[in-house]
Amino acid sequence: MNRANLFIKFSSAITIAGAGILRLWLVIIALSTVGLAQAAQTEPAPALKPAPTSEVKAAPAETTAQAKPQAAIGPKPLLVSYHAALNSGDRQFYAEIIERWNRLNPDTPAFLLDPPKSEMTSPLRPLIAPALGEAAANQAIPNNLPDIVDNFGSNFAVYAWAGAILPLNDPARPLIDINSLQDFLPSVLLQGIYDADGLIYSLATTDNGVGLWGRRSQLNKIGMRIPTSTADAWNGEEFLTALDRLSKLSDIDYALDLRLSYPSYEWYSVVFIPWLQMSGGDIINRNSWKAEGVLNSKESQNAMTLLQSLRKRPKLLAPPDFKEQNFREAKNVGLAYSGHWDWPLNQQALGDDLVLMPLPRLGQKTATTSGSWGWSITRASRRPAVAAKLLQYLVSPDIALEYSNRFGAVPSRLSAIDRSSFYRKGGVLEILSQQLKEASSRHPLQPAYPGNLTVRTVFTKAIVNIIAGRSVALELDHAATIIDADSESHNNYIKLRLR
């Protein structure tokens, strides 16, 4: 069972005042493991419970993802494509939200579609296939495409490039309340902006946060201060000093776990793109979309040389076969890169000894990447203005806070963060929301990044090879060459409009 599914179960009661609630979370975790295979307040935060029965109830069969739209009497529903599996808590949550919308807006109902099987079977694939050379430009477009789709992080870029989704804040025809954008996390806005025209095409309900977990007793033992804010983050020298001292402790096998155990495209981007940027490099030039001179620059090479040096030195960096649970279970690793999803289990195992710190500042600045599932309006929608109202409902402060309380992710709305027991000022996870406000980075918004996986595939392969000891310069040169060759083969991804 993955970490996101764990949050589905143990976040049904939200409070950080008192050990009783934490014990309740852990009971639910245990039950979910058998059944299932992402407070600073003056008074305790209320336990999360379903909205009043007059407002929300379990989604009836006709609105669940397993059902099919009925050719019933009444207005044709807006079609919403959502990625989560049919039996997931995420999908049940949005089934409830869609049902609530339908009761409040009976003249403009919505329907949650079955999830696509993969990125390559996205419901919008027919709209981008001609741009990718996969189909004739005059090929018939299905008439049952969704009005709203979700995409992870910057994956919307290929759809914006191909004209398959609509800008939300086009000054000539805004689909959303422009003033509402002031209430979004900077990281969410950055994630949703398409660089080619500077417009927003995607908005998320929540965001993900990654921090540095450690143990207070160990850090005190080795004489390291414990940073408490983004501005207070360890610099590169302090970070390396901490790793060196931790590696000398007898009960530590490795000083740092970067979760190399799962070299997924997204995770390696989450961790190592900020390393490049903190050092003054990047994965591509964000204006020209070229990798040459950026990914293989001296600055990027320095960042990856640092990574390789950590792996070469004994006991500094955990290897790819290191179990991610060891930080809290075997307790044989000093520091761990991870996100909000690990907080409850870490808290259970380590209690008050657990500390969450900002990511280290390895260069002149600190940086944390972000990424969550964002909503977009499709070109196929015949009622984009109505679809936009539903989209704004899905990313409203109340819905963002409700999702956060249930599953743990950072609310996308600043006003929701202010009401969050976890992420508001003084909250146990405030570091994560603070980083997203002050030091957010993002994945590259070049169509090749999600469109045919070129950028993230070759970047991940380069990282794997560098960790294995191969030449940093050669690996980055090779990756840059492949990325730029792909871009040239697609006419440098000049923005297309297929309508």
Residue range 306-344, pLDDT digits in tens: 999 999 999 999 999 999 899 999 999 999 999 999 999
Same domain, 67 and 170: yes
Same domain, 103 and 187: yes
Band of the pLDDT at 142, cuts 50, 70, 90? low
Same domain, 28 and 83: no
Is 240 part of a structural domain of the chain?
Answer: no
Same domain, 43 and 73: no
Is 232 part of a structural domain of the chain?
Answer: no
Q: Which of 32-36, 217-221, 298-302 has the lowest mean pLDDT?
A: 32-36
Same domain, 13 and 78: no
In the predicted structure, residue 5 carries a pLDDT above the cut 80: no
Domain termination residue (choose one: 412, 438, 464): 438
Is 165 part of a structural domain of the chain?
Answer: yes
Give per-residue pLDDT as tens, 274-286.
999 999 999 998 8
Same domain, 117 and 22: no
Is 45 part of a structural domain of the chain?
Answer: yes
Q: Provide mean pLDDT across the span 186-202.
A: 91
Per-residue model confidence (pLDDT) at position 141: 60
Same domain, 150 and 93: yes
In the predicted structure, residue 497 carries a pLDDT above the cut 90: no
Is 141 part of a structural domain of the chain?
Answer: yes
Q: Which of 67-71, 132-136, 411-415, 467-471 has the lowest mean pLDDT?
A: 67-71
Entry pTM: 0.81
Is 38 part of a structural domain of the chain?
Answer: yes
Band of the pLDDT at 86, cuts 50, 70, 90? confident
Across the chain, what does the average pLDDT equal? 82
Domain span holding position 80? 61-207+371-438
Provide the domain count of the chain: 2
3-state secondary structure the chain: CCHHHHHHHHCCCCCCCCHHHHHHHHHHHHHHHHHHCCCCCCCCCCCCCCCCCCCCCCCCHHHCCCCCCCCCCCCCCEEEECCCCCCCHHHHHHHHHHHHHHHHCCCCCEEECCCCCCHHHCCCHHHHCCCCCCCCCCCCCCCCCCCEEEEEHHHHHHHHHCCCECCCCCCCCCCCCHHHHHHECHHHHHHHEECCCCEECCEECEECCEEEEEEHHHHHHCCCCCCCCHHHCCEHHHHHHHHHHHHCCCCCCEEEECCCCCCCHHHHHHHHHHHHHHCCCCCCCCCCCCCCCCCCCHHHHHHHHHHHHHHHCCCCECCCCCCHHHHCCCCCEEEEEEEHHHHHHHHHHHHHHEEEECCCECCCCCCECCCCEEEEEECCCCCHHHHHHHHHHHCCHHHHHHHHHHHCCEECEHHHHHCCCCCCCCCCCHHHHHHHHHCECCCCCCCHHHHCCHHHHHHHHHHHHHHCCCCHHHHHHHHHHHHHHHHHHCHHHCCCCCC
Same domain, 180 and 111: yes
In the predicted structure, residue 57 carries a pLDDT above the cut 90: no
Domain termination residue (choose one: 416, 438, 460): 438
Is 4 part of a structural domain of the chain?
Answer: yes
Same domain, 15 and 151: no
In the predicted structure, residue 52 carries a pLDDT above the cut 50: no
Q: Provide mean pLDDT across the span 36-53.
A: 32
Is 354 part of a structural domain of the chain?
Answer: no
Domain termination residue (choose one: 438, 456, 491): 438
Band of the pLDDT at 354, cuts 50, 70, 90? very high
Same domain, 99 and 131: yes
- CATH number of the domain that residue 72 is part of: 3.40.190.10
Same domain, 158 and 71: yes
In the predicted structure, residue 64 carries a pLDDT above the cut 70: no
Q: Give whichever of 34-43, 156-165, 350-359 has the largest mean pLDDT.
A: 350-359
Same domain, 33 and 123: no
Band of the pLDDT at 436, cuts 50, 70, 90? very high
